[in-house]
């Protein structure tokens, strides 16, 4: 019987064309008991291969092809755990000293790490083929002899491959002769690169991508035939009928390869406790201190819960993990970095006591087992939210320093081919011209929602491609085949893995593109599957906003705000939320959230938790939003699906909204164990398979039958659970997010200027463009001042505008202005004020003409020559001269004229010298210039300039709509700020139109969208006519006709296609 | 001194409308590009108002139901331009061919012939209309003023001397065709018309916009002076001859061609030029019977074309009419016209004659003209695709090669020295696994391939029949499998075998035409073509 012991997967990045799971499946289909995966310079695909093989009950042997200094590759198979550790260390050594994607090993290094590894002589890229080509059979014999010296004679197999190629057969003859001479066993393999023969096409395209060629020019670089696919044992036996021992040896060798990934030997590091006491003792002390500060000394319920959790933590020996996370949090606190735990950790009272999370799980009655259970045998998952940017980096570097370069690393993020990237690469290989390629790639994946007709085939036809054309058809087929194949290894945004001892013996490490970063070869799911614990340090834009906001409040208002001690039930915050006046607030600012808020009318923190969780694809697709809102408003009776579910669903009025509720429902209704419920949770996750869902559904129904639940209730329960397949939030996670939502709402309501400056300084983030944020702040009474080089900094800042503050826009909003130029302007200005544009140009020589032009155009140079100022065109006129410096001959004379001038008379003369023969910009021109130069205006909204005409045309302003009755026919108009076509909305499009009074929303049916597609997508100002829907304070217009509104040439922008 | 400038606005659209007058009342957008990508490159006012934007994709434009989409036609633009030149020539011989959409006429002194300048302008408008063009006409004593006024103002514009600056005042600066950078600056300044531009102080303007600024300022003031650049009539080396009686045979045709070539070569000589290509076009007699027969037999639904065209490319410029005649004859022999000839049009592409001097110590090589003639003769015998230097192609496809143009040894050696090393390095770099193979024996490839019948035994070829011979395969090695070009229609998939064949002697005894089978015994390469499902013999090892 034959076993394939030399196969590459697509994790050889562009050198293999099938996923490990596909290889395992074909292996099973062909009746092989085991198979070995040898990817290039790594074990990237090993966890997926191992898990897939485990599921179908075949053995997954691990190995790798390791590149030598001469360019050929050692095919190495892992025999034991020592061999695996050696392989990981060898690859790590090679990777960490070379640029990303490069590297090789020397013979001496291989010898150092040869223990526990079996070496094959390889196919056409192996050592033997290379030696034979270099120096014939003598050289080949020497090469194999050298391998025997490195690995030991018993660990070297002479490999034979047969792909019906003359050169290969000649090599085989030589190999057999050498094997006989040296007394080595022969081993048949097929050097597999793809599972099925037809995947050769993908491999050929990969070859083109690797060599930057097209299929037409790649010539002999392409595969000579399609024989590199998996072959059945019968085929292989027939192919090697003259050498039966080569087939038999595959079995013998496979039986030697005892190592599997189950055997990793991973240990989480121990926390270095200061006085050498046991870790649990130290943890108990910290938890106790935390408990007293959080709950006070007399909260018996909290004490008991914490005690229970600590006992379990001790039992599971996880004290080190908690202490390490606590240590990171402590580091952040000491550095003044905002940090907050989220995810299932928020279910833990210990995490709350340790300051890791800010959600009181005892008070909220959260399920601790969701975070940690004895039964599950899985590491807990703690995610820490940090402000995005430098501060998160500080925390990451702290972990590296603390645990060493080989003790901590980021998890990888496997970048796979998606519609657009696949289309681009395939198009290039098929020699499509760049224009065609751009058109093609712009076609793919523009909207989240795809209706039944919105297929790739239709998109092709729409773009004028002939699907009958063989090349286009081939392109189309290849695009489909490319989906989900790995493209390269990226770095996960925040997942850190830490290991006791050497992480490089568990998984190979690689340098990341970012200097100072190291990544493991597995992504976060693979790490979790392999039982490696990770801590996610995630950058959250809103955390950065909150932190900046607190800093501004401290500096400008002179007040210290502690987010942990915000007033819990601030009436202003809740009334603002109820009015859906939430632009800029975390998690509650989207169109869908705004449409829900006036109906849900949050009155306490838990309502906000529900609000955050309810507008998710899970509850929306599961049709849980409306029942919940109706029950909350008392328009529908509360129903618990089944009386036994009352304790679970009582808090959410009988409607399941959180993940925990679904797990508990499965446990109560269908008798699932905790482990089975966890399996259900995973099945609901991202990598959802229809088959797995079906299996679970059958299991659910069986369980419910046993518990005597009626078919109607069963149907409802199954629907609730399966619709969550598009995932909803766990309650603890929603609570963590609700805290941030509350904090952002509180700061916006009470410190609008500081909040606006902070959010503008952290763009891009959130749902709206800066222009919308500024306008919203203005509607709330904030004065926002324009950019001015005489007082603006790089960032937006506050200026005293008695009795309150106003925001001065920062130069970061000047398009094309480099930060170092802006900082130089600020530092030169601090030395002495600029006298003229020429003075600025002389003192900031870095500045380019285009930058000066934009500054002038947006009015930032108007006050450069004094407080009376000039107009924008005056500045533009001067720039042209300042930018054309005279030649060296006249430079001295020019310089002499520009000595610093003091005194108001001189300043006035300079101001008059700044004047030009040009006419000042009109209002419309200023508007166009503002949007072109900064993407926003602090002046009147473009619609405001045309209100009289709008009134004449019967157009209502956004604010008027609130007073109009439901069902009335209205016209609304404004600049489009968002266009959405959510995946859950069946093709409906939601537009938000802004005018000078606020925002109005339009709902567009799929038919109408089809009709006005071009206008809706391409026009920035629209007039929409339709029926007003004014229900429970939620206002929108159901569009019946749409027309472009050419009121300005200003290039406003919108946030589209969420 | 007076000048009239004639400008055809939206020239691309007008060129198309000229050929399809029904479009005049419609919204029209023109698309251009390389299939399958088409973008809107021009549109008339009605189309722009309907929402069409320049640069828009054809698929987007097609969504505007009221807009007619047409493809840009360079041919129609060429003929529209020719019509514009004809229009100018109908009034004045002194004409400047300024741009495809604009010409300038010197109309000084024509008032006595055509009446007032206004009359001339009206006449030009009328003529333009009869030629299918809507034109703007401007008359001024200043050539540049006339030019810009025609570009910027519609209808007829008469600008009396001294009023240039005033009349140009309303003209958009865009009509002065400034560079993109300066236009952007002017737009930023809010300077949109000539009056605003002319009002700027010249010195300060020159400090900011340099000489181009000064030039534009002069244009805007109507103060720019330049002379007319008279259009030179294009030199066409073309001769044509309409025949009283259709000629069907080569000899009389060659006689006529000889005469025309003599004339052409004489004209070329007069201008010290030679021909680097000769274009030949015959108008053919209608061959009703022949077409009828073809259609009747239903072989091809297409009618045979009524013209015959041929281009004779020359390796070096030639003006030896006898040599050219010989080459043309060879071409015509290889590919004769399918009907009798009623008209001959012969044109030469002019080029500077060859001025080469052979090196004293260089080996003599064939005269290029003679060589071309010899190659022409050989091509006549074997077909154009079968002559030249064979060249291997970078592919796994067995036996693939292409014929490249034959280059004489001296040049070739130079070229191969330069290219050969580069090519070799290229191959090495590309395919480092394939090493030069030292063949022990030579291999003769059968071209064309020879179809064979093969009997298999246990999957191995056992007996073979080809070229009328039957043989036993005593040894076989294979299969060696290749496949590729899967993205093309001519994909291939072959299993090759090396086989040792012993032919059956009886076949050659029975049939004299079959060579002695014993001498045919030997080592062959045969293959099974999976696409065609057939066996072939590829060749034999010597």
* pLDDT for position A375: 67
What is the least distance, in Å, from the CA of A164 to any CA of chain B?
Answer: 5
pLDDT at res. A889: 59
**Residue B269 — very low, low, confident or very high, per pLDDT cuts 50/70/90?**
confident
Residue bearing the bigger pLDDT, A448 or B246 = B246
Q: Are strands A998-1004 and A1034-1044 parallel, antiparallel or unpaired?
A: parallel
Residue of B nearest to A205 (CA): B487
Q: Which of A1014, A1015, A1018, A1042 to mutate to test the interface with B (most CBs of B within 10 A)?
A: A1014
Query: What is the per-residue pLDDT for B288?
Result: 47
| Chain B nearest C-alpha distance from A101 (Å) | 20
Say how far apart CA A894 and CA A836 lie, in whole Å: 14
Q: Which of B64, B486, B529 is best to mutate for the A interface (most A CBs within 10 A)?
A: B486
Mutate to test the interface with A, among B195, B391, B478, B484 (most CBs of A within 10 A): B484
List CB contacts (< 8 A) between B204 and chain A: 881, 917
How far apart CA A268 and CA A534 sit, in angstroms, is 10
Given the structure tokens 């030019």, which residue do they identify?
Answer: B147
Residue B512: pLDDT above 90?
A: no
HSE, CB side, 13 Å, CA atoms: give it for residue A483.
Answer: 9
Residue in A474, A884, A918 closest to B190 by CB = A918
Q: Chain B closest CA to A1012's CA: distance in Å?
A: 10
Cβ atoms B471, B463 nearer than 8 A: yes
Mind telling me how many Å the CA of B36 is from chain A's nearest CA? 6
Q: Is A737 left (phi over 0), alpha (psi -120 to 50) or beta?
A: alpha
User: Token pair of A56, please?
Assistant: 């179908």
- Residue A1017 in 3-state DSSP? helix
Which one, of B76, B65, B6, B62, lies nearest residue B31 by Cα? B62
The Cα-based distances of A287 to A284, A291, A294, A310 in angstroms read 5, 6, 10, 9
B12 or A423, which is more confident?
Answer: B12
Q: What is the mean pLDDT of chain A?
A: 87
Residue B425 pLDDT level (bands cut at 50, 70, 90): very low
A219, B486: Cβ pair inside 8 Å?
no
Q: How many CA atoms lie within 13 A of B413 on its CB side?
A: 5
Residue (of A552, A505, A431, A460) closest to A113 by Cα position: A505
Confidence at B220, pLDDT banded by 50, 70, 90: very high
Which residues are CB-neighbours of A899 under 8 A, at least 6 positions away? none
By Cβ distance, the residue of A226, A227, A463 closest to B59 is: A463
Chain centroid, CA A714 distance in Å: 37
From residue A466, give the alpha-carbon distance in Å to each of A425, A463, A620, B33: 20, 9, 38, 16
Per DSSP bridges, beta strands B237-247 and A59-67 are unpaired
Express each pLDDT in A412-471 by its tens digit: 988 888 777 888 899 899 988 777 777 666 665 544 444 445 566 666 666 566 677 777
pLDDT tens-digit series, residues B27-71? 999 998 876 677 899 999 999 888 888 888 787 788 787 889 898
| Distance in angstroms (rounded) separating the CA atoms of residues A379 and A372 | 8
**Averaged pLDDT for residues B120-124:** 92
Q: Do A224 and B396 touch (CB under 8 A)?
A: yes
Nearest CB neighbour to A474, from listed B63, B393, B487: B487
Output the CA angle A176-A182-A188, nearest 5 degrees. Answer: 35
Contact across the interface for A464 and B189, Cβ inside 8 Å: no
Residues of B in contact with A221 (CB under 8 A): 430-431
Q: What is the pLDDT at residue A882? A: 83
Residues, chain A, total? 1058
Q: Which residues of B touch A857 (CB under 8 A)?
A: 188
Task: Find the CB nearest A918 among B189, B434, B495.
Answer: B189
Q: For residue B48, count other CB atoms closer than 10 A to its CB.
A: 16
Q: Of A870, A874, A829, which Cα lies nearest the Cα of A847? A: A829
Out of B189, B481, B489, whose CB is closest to A876?
B189
Confidence of residue B354 (pLDDT cuts 50, 70, 90): confident
Q: Would residue A489 be called left, alpha or beta, if left means φ above 0 and alpha means ψ between -120 and 50 degrees?
A: beta
**B431 contacts A430? CB cut-off 8 A:** no
Which residues from B are below 8 Å from A472, CB to CB? Answer: 36
Q: Which residues contact A870 (CB under 8 A, 6 or more apart)?
A: A862, A911, A914, A915, A916
Give the gap in angstroms from C-alpha A906 to the nearest C-alpha of chain B.
22
Mean pLDDT is lowest, of A72-86, A371-385, B243-257, B467-481, for A371-385
Query: Which pLDDT score is estimated for A690?
Result: 64
Residue of A nearest to B435 (CA): A133
- Partners of B431 on chain A (C-beta within 8 Å) are 219-221
ipTM over 0.90: no
Q: What is the pLDDT of residue A460?
A: 65
Structure tokens at B226: 């330049």
Compare all CA atoms of chain A with the CA of B495 and give the residue at the minimum distance: A164
Closest B-chain CA to A212: B430
Chain A CA closest to residue B62: A462
Report residue A794 as tokens.
């790089």
- Do the beta carbons of residue A507 and residue A43 sit within 8 Å? yes
- Cα→Cα distances B322→B257, B273, B326, B531, Å: 10, 17, 6, 50
Distance from CA of B482 to the nearest CA of A (A): 5
pLDDT at B429 over 70: no
List chain B residues with CB under 8 Å of A471.
487
Task: Say what percent of chain B tops pLDDT 90.
Answer: 36
- Residue A993: the pLDDT is 94
pLDDT at B10 over 70: yes
Residue B260: CB atoms within 10 A of its CB come to 20
Tokens read off for A542? 């809103």
Q: Which residues in chain A touch residue B213, judged by CB atoms under 8 angstroms apart?
A: none
Shortest distance between the Cα of A574 and any Cα of chain B, in A, equals: 46
Among B34, B185, B395, the residue with its CB nearest the CB of A220 is B395
Instruction: Suggest the residue from A213, A226, A235, A1021 to mutate for an interface test with chain B (most B CBs closer than 10 A).
Output: A226
The strand pair at A73-78 and A117-120 is best described as antiparallel
Check if the beta carbon of residue A809 is closer than 8 Å to that of residue A796.
yes
A74 phi/psi in degrees, rounded to 5: -80, 115
Can you name the residues that pair with B499 across neighbouring β-strands? B476, B524
The confidence score (pLDDT) of residue B78 equals: 82
Residues B495-524: what's their mean pLDDT?
A: 77
In angstroms, the CA B58 to CA A960 distance is 41
Chain A to chain B Cβ contacts (< 8 Å):
115
Q: According to the model, what pLDDT value does residue B305 have?
A: 59
Low-confidence ranges of chain A (pLDDT < 70): 375-378, 439-466, 501, 674-675, 682, 684-691, 724-728, 885-914, 984, 1057-1058
Cβ atoms of A69 and A105 closer than 8 Å: yes
Q: Distance (Å) from the C-alpha of residue B207 to the closest C-alpha of chain A?
A: 6
- Residue written as token pair 């030469």: B348
Euclidean distance between CA atoms B494 and B535, whole angstroms: 9
Q: In sequence order, what are the beta bridge partners of A414?
A: A489
Determine, for residues B478 and A164 on separate chains, whether the beta-carbon distance falls below 8 Å.
yes
Radius of gyration of chain B (CA): 35
Q: Which two tokens stand for residue B323?
A: 């040599």
Residues facing residue B407 across a β-bridge: none
Measured between beta carbons, which residues in chain A are less than 8 angstroms from residue B396? 219-220, 222, 224
The answer to whether A103 and A284 have CB atoms below 8 angstroms apart is no
| Contact check, Cβ <8 Å, A880/B209 | yes
Q: Which two tokens stand for residue B139?
A: 């008359």
Which chain A residues touch B41 with a CB distance below 8 Å?
Answer: none
Partner residue facing B36 (CB), from A436, A918, A921: A436
Instruction: Provide, rounded to the nearest whole percent, the portion of chain B with pLDDT above 70.
Output: 85
Contact A802, A843 (CB under 8 A): no
pTM of the model: 0.71
Asked if A133 lies within 8 A of B191 by C-beta distance, the reply is no
Say if residues A1022 and A1044 touch (Cβ distance below 8 Å): yes
CA A1044 to chain B, closest CA, distance in angstroms equals 9
Is B430 within 8 Å of A471 when comparing Cβ atoms?
no
């Amino acid at each position: 019987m034959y076993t394939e012991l030399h196969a590459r997967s697509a994790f050889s990045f562009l050198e293999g064309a099938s996923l490990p799971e596909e290889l395992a499946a074909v292996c099973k289909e062909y009746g092989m008991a085991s198979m070995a995966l040898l990817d290039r310079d790594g074990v990237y695909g090993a966890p997926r291969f191992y898990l897939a093989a485990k599921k179908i009950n075949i053995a997954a042997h691990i190995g790798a092809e390791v590149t030598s200094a001469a360019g050929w590759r050692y095919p190495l198979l892992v025999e034991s755990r020592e061999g695996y550790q050696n392989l990981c260390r060898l690859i790590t050594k090679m990777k960490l000293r070379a640029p990303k994607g490069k590297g090789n090993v020397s013979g001496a290094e291989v010898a150092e790490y040869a223990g526990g590894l079996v070496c094959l002589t390889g196919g056409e890229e192996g050592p033997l083929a290379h030696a034979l080509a270099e120096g014939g059979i003598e050289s080949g014999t020497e090469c194999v002899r050298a391998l025997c010296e490195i690995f030991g004679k018993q660990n070297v197999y002479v490999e034979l491959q047969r792909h019906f190629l003359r050169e290969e057969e000649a090599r085989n003859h030589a190999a057999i002769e050498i094997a006989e001479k040296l007394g080595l066993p022969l081993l048949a393999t097929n050097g597999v690169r793809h599972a099925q023969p037809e995947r050769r096409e993908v491999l050929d395209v990969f070859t083109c991508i690797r060599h930057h060629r097209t299929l037409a020019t790649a010539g002999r670089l392409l595969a000579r035939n399609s024989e590199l696919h998996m072959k059945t044992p019968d085929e292989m036996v027939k192919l090697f009928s003259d050498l039966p021992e080569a087939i038999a040896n595959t079995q013998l060798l496979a039986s030697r390869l005892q190592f599997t990934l189950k055997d990793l030997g991973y240990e989480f590091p121990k926390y270095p406790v200061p006085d050498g006491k046991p870790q649990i003792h130290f943890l108990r002390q910290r938890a106790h201190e935390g408990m007293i500060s959080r709950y006070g000394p007399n909260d018996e319920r909290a004490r008991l819960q914490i005690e229970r959790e600590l006992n379990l933590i001790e039992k599971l020996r996880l004290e080190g993990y908690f202490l390490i996370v606590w240590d990171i949090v402590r580091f952040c606190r000491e550095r003044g970095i905002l940090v907050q735990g989220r995810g299932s950790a928020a279910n833990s009272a210990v995490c709350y006591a340790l300051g890791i999370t800010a959600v009181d799980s005892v008070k909220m009655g959260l399920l601790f087992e969701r975070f940690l259970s004895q039964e599950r045998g899985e590491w807990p998952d703690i995610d820490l939210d940090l402000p995005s940017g430098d501060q998160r980096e500080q925390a990451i570097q702290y972990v590296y320093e603390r645990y060493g370069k080989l003790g901590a690393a980021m998890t990888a993020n496997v970048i796979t081919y998606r519609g657009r990237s696949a289309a681009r690469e395939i198009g290039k290989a098929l020699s499509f011209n760049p224009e065609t390629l751009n058109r093609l790639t712009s076609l793919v994946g523009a909207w989240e929602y795809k209706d039944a007709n919105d297929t790739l085939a239709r998109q092709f036809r729409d773009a004028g491609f002939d699907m009958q054309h063989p090349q286009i058809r081939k392109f189309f087929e290849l695009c489909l085949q490319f989906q989900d194949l790995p493209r390269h290894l990226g770095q996960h945004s925040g997942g850190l893995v830490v290991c006791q001892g050497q992480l490089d013996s568990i998984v190979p490490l690689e340098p990341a593109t970012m200097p100072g970063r190291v990544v493991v070869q597995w992504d976060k799911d693979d790490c979790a599957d392999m039982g490696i614990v990770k801590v996610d340090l995630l950058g959250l834009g809103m955390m950065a906003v909150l932190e900046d906001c607190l800093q501004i409040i401290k500096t400008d208002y002179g007040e210290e705000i502690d987010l942990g001690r915000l007033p819990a039930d601030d009436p202003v915050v809740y009334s603002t939320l109820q009015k859906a006046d939430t632009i800029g607030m975390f998690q509650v600012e989207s169109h869908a959230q705004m449409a829900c808020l006036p109906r849900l009318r949050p009155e306490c923190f838990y309502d906000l938790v529900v609000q955050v969780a309810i507008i998710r694809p899970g509850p929306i697709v599961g049709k849980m939003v409306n029942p919940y809102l109706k029950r909350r408003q008392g328009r529908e009776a509360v129903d618990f699906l089944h009386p036994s579910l009352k304790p679970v669903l009582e808090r959410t009025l009988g409607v399941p909204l959180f993940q925990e509720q679904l797990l508990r429902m499965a446990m109560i209704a269908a008798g699932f164990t905790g482990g089975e419920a966890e399996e259900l949770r995973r099945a609901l996750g991202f990598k959802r398979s229809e088959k797995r869902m079906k299996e679970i559904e059958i299991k659910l129904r069986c369980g419910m039958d046993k518990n005597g639940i009626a078919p109607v209730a069963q149907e409802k329960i199954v629907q609730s659970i399966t619709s969550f397949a598009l995932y909803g939030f766990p309650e603890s996670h929603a609570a963590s997010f609700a805290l941030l939502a509350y904090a952002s709402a509180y700061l916006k309501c009470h410190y609008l200027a500081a909040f606006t400056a902070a959010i503008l300084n952290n763009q891009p983030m959130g749902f709206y463009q800066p222009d919308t944020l500024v306008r919203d702040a203005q509607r709330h009474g904030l004065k926002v001042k324009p950019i001015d080089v005489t007082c603006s900094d790089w960032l937006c800042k506050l200026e005293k505008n008695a009795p309150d503050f106003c925001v001065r826009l920062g130069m970061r909003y000047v398009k094309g202005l480099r930060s170092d130029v802006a900082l130089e302007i600020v530092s030169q200005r601090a030395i002495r004020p600029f006298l003229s544009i020429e003075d600025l140009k002389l003192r900031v020589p870095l500045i380019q003409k285009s930058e000066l032009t934009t500054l002038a155009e947006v009015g930032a140079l108007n006050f450069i020559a004094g407080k009376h100022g000039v107009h924008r065109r005056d500045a533009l006129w001067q720039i042209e001269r300042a930018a054309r410096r005279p030649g060296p001959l006249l430079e001295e004379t020019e310089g002499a004229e520009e000595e610093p001038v003091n005194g108001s008379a001189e300043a006035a003369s300079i101001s008059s010298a700044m004047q030009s023969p040009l006419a000042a910009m009109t209002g419309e021109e200023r508007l166009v210039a503002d949007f072109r130069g900064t993407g926003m205006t602090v002046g009147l909204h473009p619609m405001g300039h045309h209100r009289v005409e709008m009134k004449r045309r019967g157009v209502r302003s956004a604010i008027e709509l609130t007073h109009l009755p439901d069902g009335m026919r209205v016209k609304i108009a404004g600049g489009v700020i968002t266009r959405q076509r959510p995946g859950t909305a069946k093709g409906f499009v939601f537009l938000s139109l802004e005018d000078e009074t606020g925002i109005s929303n339009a709902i567009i049916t799929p038919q109408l969208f089809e009709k006005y597609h071009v206008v809706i997508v391409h026009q920035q100002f629209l007039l929409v006519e339709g029926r007003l829907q004014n229900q429970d304070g939620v206002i929108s217009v159901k569009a019946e006709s749409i027309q472009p509104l050419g009121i300005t040439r200003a290039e406003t922008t919108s946030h589209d296609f969420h | 001194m007076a000048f009239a400038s004639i400008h055809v606005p939206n020239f691309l659209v007008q060129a198309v409308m000229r050929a399809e007058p029904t479009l005049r009342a419609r919204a029209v957008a023109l698309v251009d590009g390389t299939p399958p990508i088409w973008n809107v490159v021009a549109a008339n006012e009605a189309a722009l108002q309907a929402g069409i934007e320049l640069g828009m994709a054809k698929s987007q434009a097609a969504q505007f139901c009221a807009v007619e989409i047409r493809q840009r036609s360079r041919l129609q633009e060429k003929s529209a331009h020719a019509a514009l030149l004809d229009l100018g020539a109908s009034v004045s011989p002194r004409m400047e061919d300024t741009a495809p959409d604009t010409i300038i006429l010197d109309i000084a002194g024509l008032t006595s012939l055509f009446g007032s300048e206004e009359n001339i302008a009206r006449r030009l408008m009328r003529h333009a209309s009869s030629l299918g063009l809507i034109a703007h006409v401007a008359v001024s004593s200043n050539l540049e003023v006339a030019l810009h006024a025609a570009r910027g103002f519609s209808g007829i514009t008469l600008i009396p001397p001294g009023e240039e600056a005033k009349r140009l005042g309303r003209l958009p600066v865009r009509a002065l065709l400034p560079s993109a950078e300066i236009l952007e600056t002017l737009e930023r300044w809010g300077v949109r018309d000539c009056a605003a531009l002319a009002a700027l102080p010249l010195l300060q303007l020159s400090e900011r916009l340099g000489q181009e600024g000064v030039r534009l300022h002069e244009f805007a003031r109507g103060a720019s002076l330049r002379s007319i650049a008279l259009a030179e009539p294009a030199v066409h080396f073309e001769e044509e001859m309409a025949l009283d009686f259709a000629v069907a045979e080569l000899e009389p045709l060659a006689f006529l061609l000889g005469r025309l070539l003599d004339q052409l070569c004489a004209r070329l000589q007069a201008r010290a030029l030679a021909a680097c290509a000769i274009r030949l076009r015959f108008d053919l007699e209608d061959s009703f019977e022949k077409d009828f027969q073809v259609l009747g037999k239903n072989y091809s639904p297409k009618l045979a074309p009524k013209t015959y065209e041929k281009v004779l490319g020359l390796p070096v410029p030639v003006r030896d009419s006898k040599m050219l005649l010989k080459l043309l004859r060879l071409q015509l022999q290889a590919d004769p016209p399918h009907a009798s000839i009623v008209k001959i049009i012969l044109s030469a592409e002019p080029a500077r004659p060859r001025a080469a001097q052979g090196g004293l110590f260089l080996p003599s090589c064939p005269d290029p003209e003679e060589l071309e003639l010899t190659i022409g003769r050989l091509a006549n015998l074997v077909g154009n695709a079968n002559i030249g230097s064979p060249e291997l192609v970078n592919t796994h496809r067995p036996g693939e090669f292409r014929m490249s143009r034959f280059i004489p040894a001296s040049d070739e050696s130079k070229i191969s020295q330069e290219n050969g090393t580069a090519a070799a390095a290229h191959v090495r770099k590309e395919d480092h696994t394939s090493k030069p193979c030292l063949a022990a024996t030579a291999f003769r490839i059968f071209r064309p391939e020879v179809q064979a019948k093969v009997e298999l035994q246990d999957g191995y070829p056992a007996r073979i029949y080809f070229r009328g011979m039957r043989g036993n395969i005593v040894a076989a090695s294979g299969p060696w499998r290749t496949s590729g070009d899967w993205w093309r229609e001519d994909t291939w998939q072959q299993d090759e075998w090396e086989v040792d064949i012993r032919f059956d002697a009886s076949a050659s005894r029975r049939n004299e035409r079959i060579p002695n089978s014993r001498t045919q015994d030997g080592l062959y390469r045969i293959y099974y073509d999976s696409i065609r499902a057939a066996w072939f013999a590829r060749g034999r090892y010597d």
